[in-house]
Structure 1
Amino acid sequence: MTVGHGSVAVLRGFDLALRQGQVLALLGPNGAGKSTLLATMAGLLPRLGGSVSVAGRPLPNGRPAPANKSGLVLVPDDRALFTTLTVGENLTIANKSGGLDLDGAMELFPSLTKRINVAAGSLSGGEQQMLAVARALVQNPKVLLIDEMSMGLAPVIVEALLPLVRRIADETNAVVVVVEQHVSLALSVADEAIVVVHGDVHLRGPASELAADPSRLEAAYLGETTSA
Structure 2
Amino acid sequence: MRICVPFRYIVIGNEVIPGDLAQYVLPAMQNVQTALDSAGVQVNVSTSVALSVLGSSYPPSAGAFTPEAQTYMEPIIQFLATGGSPLLVNVYPYFAYRDNPAQIALSYALFTSEGVVVTDGAYGYKNLFDAMLDATHAAMEKVGGADVAVVVTESGWPSDGGFAANISNAQTYNQNLINHVGEGTPRRPAPIEAYIFAMFNENQKEAGTERNFGLFYPDEQPVYPISFV
Q: TM-score, normalization: structure 1?
A: 0.33
Greater relative contact order (CA < 8 Å, ≥ 6 in sequence): 1
Q: If you compute each CA radius of gyration, which structure gives the higher value, 1 or 2?
A: 2
